[in-house]
């Protein structure tokens, strides 16, 4: 008999409806736009299956830029405290603590939901350590739910990660895929994602037959005496939509009438070894060598400033020269912009001038970028504002809160991304209001790129709590460096 279900966080209507409709489905696809709350539906589904003794474990796989959000934000927010869970994060690190964690994850504990978080990159081949451990984890448990977050990572049928996900998923009782952009280049992207859910679920036995049915092909001459078949268009897409409709739903933010006007979505980015090294040296020795320059600090405020710079991938040395530091933020920003629905306009905020340069380099060739910061003269600023407002298509308004954080109206943008944050609460609140004001007819999503093991974590927490950041974070400077994530 099914248990009475109790939500930890109250769902919006669209979340409740899909949860109640699909909670017992063996497989389902949530093709929901970012910010619509698909992760909560998965967590509520896992809770339902767990309390009704239908699963004892869940495997969640995603890219490195996505999977940490599950353990740092989604599960703590939506999973009830009275239901015990044990989280295992796959890592190839060989510390004793990590070995113990991985070993414990293979020994189920009655009444505890085992959660395995594994990055999709580690499933690239059958002999990869992540693949082997994920298979062992699945085989050690009696019933498992497997989730592929941002499932376009398995759109290629021939990729090793796709084959491994499908192979492991076959032995899982429940399967879910999540993405806001199920078709990144062509409708053919859907085949492998659907194969993970259930082999042959689209009605085709092979990718070749699937592609042949929905693609318009024509020969293309290669060299003197060789031809290949090239896709020049697509057909029968209404048929494809009908085939996937029974096991999927498509949702845009515009469809969610009860979503709040502001949606906040933190995105956690792993720190690099280089960032960790410099942060630790600045904390302990008050100095470090970055590139060709020496960086020294004298007090907690200068430590905070330098480590915030390092989180973004740069740092000024004692001579005033900018030195670059390896950071995962730029690549994560690139992915985020590429995943936006076509035609979306976004504001990207950067606190330091070198942030602007890195962002410009990162987004070159991706979409037009119109900058308004201390690096841009007055006439060019006005021109960039006009172009961003009037030229259609996906574009980025790259801005400094100190220059563009007040007075401007940018309601054309439905997304705001904070590559970095400063200490000033007023700057943050004012910048949020550039596209959330009279004239905005859509919901606005705010993304914070948060570098783990850095001050980013506490700065964003303080801003979210609407604290005076400069005072609060300096009182807790040590906490920045004590914030560690077991990987």
Mean per-residue pLDDT, 135-159: 96
58 and 184 housed in the same domain = yes
Residues 454 and 58 sit within 8 Å (Cβ to Cβ): no
Model pLDDT, residue 107: 96
Domain membership of residue 305 (yes or no) is no
Highest-scoring range by mean pLDDT, 143-147, 248-252, 255-259, 380-384: 143-147
**Contact present, 74 and 43 (Cβ < 8 Å):** yes
Same domain, 78 and 173: yes
Is the Cβ–Cβ distance between 49 and 145 less than 8 Å? Answer: yes
CATH code at position 350? 3.40.50.300
% of the chain beyond a pLDDT of 70? 94
**What count of Cα atoms within 13 Å lies in the side-chain half-sphere of residue 337?**
29
Could you tell me if residue 233 is inside a domain? Answer: yes
Cα dihedral across residues 455, 456, 458, 463: positive or negative: positive
27, β-bridge pairs: 175
* CATH value at residue 64: 3.40.50.10810
First CA to last CA distance, the chain? 39
Q: Which of 66-70, 78-82, 215-219, 390-394 has the least mean pLDDT?
A: 66-70
For residue 40, the model assigns a pLDDT of: 96
The 10 Å CB-count burial string (b at 16+, else e) for 260-297 is eeebebbbbbbbbeebbebbebbbeeeebebeebebeb
162 Cβ neighbours under 8 A, 6+ residues apart: 154, 155, 156, 192, 196
Q: For residue 443, give the H/E element and its range.
A: none
Longest CA pairwise span in the chain (Å): 73
The reply to whether 284 falls in a domain is no
pLDDT tens digits, one per residue of 442-479: 889 999 999 998 999 888 888 877 655 444 444 444 44
3-state helix, strand, coil split of the chain in percent (to 5) is 40, 20, 35
Q: Are residues 335 and 213 in the same domain?
A: no
Q: Which of 255, 277, 311 is the last residue of a domain?
A: 255
For Cα atoms 121, 48, 252, give the angle at the middle one, nearest 5 degrees: 60
Tell me: do 236 and 381 sit in the same domain: no
CB 197 within 8 A of CB 173: no
Q: 78 and 177, same structural domain?
A: yes
The pLDDT assigned to 252 comes to 85
85/66 Cα distance (integer angstroms): 20
Question: Is residue 380 pLDDT above 60, yes or no?
Answer: yes
pLDDT at residue number 476: 44
- Per-residue pLDDT for 435 more than 70? yes
Q: For residues 226 and 332, state if they share a domain.
A: no
280, part of any domain? no
* CA atoms of 399 and 422, how far apart (whole Å): 13
The pLDDT of residue 133 is 95
35 and 144 belong to one structural domain: yes
Domain boundary among 220, 255, 290: 255
Per-residue model confidence (pLDDT) at position 390: 94
Q: Do both 49 and 146 map to the same domain?
A: yes
The answer to the question of residue 307 being in a domain is no
CA distance 63 to 153: 8
Q: What is the pLDDT of residue 92?
A: 79
| Shared-domain flag, residues 212 and 119 | yes
pLDDT at 484 over 80: no
Query: Could you tell me if residue 309 is inside a domain?
Result: no
Does 197 map to a domain? yes
DSSP assigned state of 151: G
Neighbours of 65 (CB within 10 A): 22
Residues 52 and 180 in one domain: yes
Q: Which residues contact 298 (CB under 8 A, 6 or more apart)?
A: 286
For residues 433 and 222, what is the distance between their CA atoms, to the nearest angstrom?
54
For residue 205, the enclosing domain spans 13-255
- For 88-115, how does the pLDDT look when each residue is reduced to its tens digit (9 = 90+)? 999 877 788 889 999 999 999 999 999 9
Q: Using pLDDT thresholds of 50, 70 and 90, give the confidence band for residue 290.
A: very high
Given pLDDT bands bounded at 50, 70 and 90, which one contains residue 308? very high
Would you state the pLDDT for residue 165?
Answer: 96
* pLDDT, the chain, mean: 89
Residue-wise pLDDT for 36-90, tens only, equals 899 999 999 999 999 999 999 999 998 876 788 898 889 999 999 999 999 999 9
Average pLDDT of the residues in 325-330: 97
Please state the pTM of the whole predicted model.
Answer: 0.80
Percent of residues, the chain, with pLDDT higher than 90: 65
334 and 231 in one domain?
no
Q: Which of 21-30, 57-66, 289-298 has the highest mean pLDDT?
A: 21-30
pLDDT of 483 strictly over 50: no
My answer on whether 248 and 361 are in the same domain is no
State the total domains in the chain: 2
Residue 92 lies in a domain: yes
Q: Do 460 and 266 meet the contact criterion of CB atoms below 8 Å apart?
A: yes
Residue 85: partners with Cβ closer than 8 Å, 6 or more residues away? 75, 79, 112, 113, 114, 115
Reply yes or no on whether the pLDDT at 356 is more than 60: yes
């Amino acid at each position: 008999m099914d248990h009475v279900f109790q939500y930890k966080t109250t769902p919006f209507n669209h979340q409740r409806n899909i949860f109640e409709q699909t909670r017992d489905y063996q497989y389902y696809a949530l093709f929901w736009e970012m910010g619509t709350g698909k992760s909560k539906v998965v967590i509520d589904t896992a809770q339902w299956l767990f309390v009704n003794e239908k699963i004892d474990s869940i495997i969640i796989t995603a890219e490195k830029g996505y999977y940490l959000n599950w353990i740092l934000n989604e599960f703590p927010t939506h999973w009830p405290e009275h239901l015990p869970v044990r989280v295992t994060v796959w890592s190839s690190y060989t510390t004793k603590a990590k070995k113990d964690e991985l070993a414990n994850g293979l020994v189920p504990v009655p009444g505890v939901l085992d959660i395995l978080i594994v990055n999709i990159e580690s499933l690239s081949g059958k002999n990869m350590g992540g693949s082997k451990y994920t298979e062992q984890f699945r085989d050690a448990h009696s019933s498992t739910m497997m989730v592929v977050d941002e499932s376009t990572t398995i759109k290629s049928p021939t990729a090793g990660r796709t084959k491994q996900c499908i192979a492991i998923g076959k032995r899982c009782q429940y399967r879910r895929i999540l993405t806001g952009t199920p078709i990144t280049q062509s409708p053919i992207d859907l085949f492998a994602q659907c194969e993970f859910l259930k082999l042959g679920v689209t009605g085709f036995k092979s990718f070749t037959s699937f592609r042949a049915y929905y693609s318009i092909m024509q020969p293309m001459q290669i060299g003197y005496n060789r031809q290949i078949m090239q896709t020049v268009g697509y057909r029968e897409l209404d048929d494809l939509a009908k085939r996937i409709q029974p096991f999927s739903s498509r949702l845009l933010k515009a469809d969610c009438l009860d979503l709040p006007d502001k949606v906040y979505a933190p995105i956690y980015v792993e720190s690099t070894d280089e960032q960790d090294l410099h942060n630790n040296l600045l904390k302990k020795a008050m100095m470090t060598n970055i590139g060709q320059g020496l960086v020294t600090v004298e007090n907690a405020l200068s430590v905070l400033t330098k480590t915030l710079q390092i989180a973004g991938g740069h740092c000024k040395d004692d001579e005033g020269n900018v030195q670059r530091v390896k950071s995962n933020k730029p690549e994560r920003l690139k992915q985020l912009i590429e995943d936006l629905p076509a035609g979306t306009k976004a504001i990207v905020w950067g606190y330091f001038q070198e942030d602007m340069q890195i962002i410009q380099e990162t987004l070159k060739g991706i979409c037009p970028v119109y900058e308004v910061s201390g690096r841009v003269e007055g006439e060019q600023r006005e021109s960039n504002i006009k172009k961003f407002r009037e030229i259609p298509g996906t574009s980025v308004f790259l801005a400094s809160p100190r220059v563009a954080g007040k007075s401007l109206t940018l309601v054309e943008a439905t997304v705001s991304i904070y590559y970095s944050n400063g200490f000033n609460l007023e700057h943050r609140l004012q910048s949020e209001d550039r596209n959330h004001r009279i004239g905005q007819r859509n919901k606005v999503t705010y993304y914070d790129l948060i570098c783990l093991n850095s001050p980013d974590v506490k700065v964003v927490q303080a801003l979210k709590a609407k604290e005076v950041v400069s005072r609060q974070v300096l009182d807790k400077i040590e906490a920045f460096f004590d914030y560690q994530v077991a990987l």
